[in-house]
Amino acid sequence: MAEDTTTPESTAAGSTEAPGLEDRVVEILKTIYDPEIPVNIYELGLIYDVAIGDGGHVDVKMTLTSPACPVAGTLPVEVEDKVKGLPGVSSAEVDVVWDPVWNPSMMSEAAKLELGMMDF
């Protein structure tokens, strides 16, 4: 019999908890926008990690465009509330980190295209 090496820090891909939950978390994150930039926070590269733990606990590691971001007090709360509202999520915690420091190179190609930042 194989040894179970699943840990609470495992992502949905490596966990037997709630198949597809990580995909649903990413989809809900794509509905959250920085009010000053017309691109969602996922495509902006503000989400560094989504980890699904046992029992449906979700940890989100994110950053902001700058420490002086006007939504620093509300955006992480919005992320946590929307993730907590997903079926299969028992609890959620958002950790705002500053390392690595966010920069425009972290944006997806779609975000760069939307903002006219593509190198042609």
10-34 per-position pLDDT tens digit: 333 344 445 699 999 999 999 999 8
Cβ within 8 Å of residue 42, ≥6 positions away: 26, 29, 30, 32, 108
Please give the single-letter amino acid code of residue 71: V
For residues 57 and 90, is the Cβ–Cβ distance under 8 A?
yes
Q: What is the pLDDT of residues 50-94, one digit of tens each?
A: 999 999 999 999 999 998 989 999 999 999 999 999 999 999 999
Domains of the chain: 12-114 (3.30.300.130)
Record the pTM.
0.81
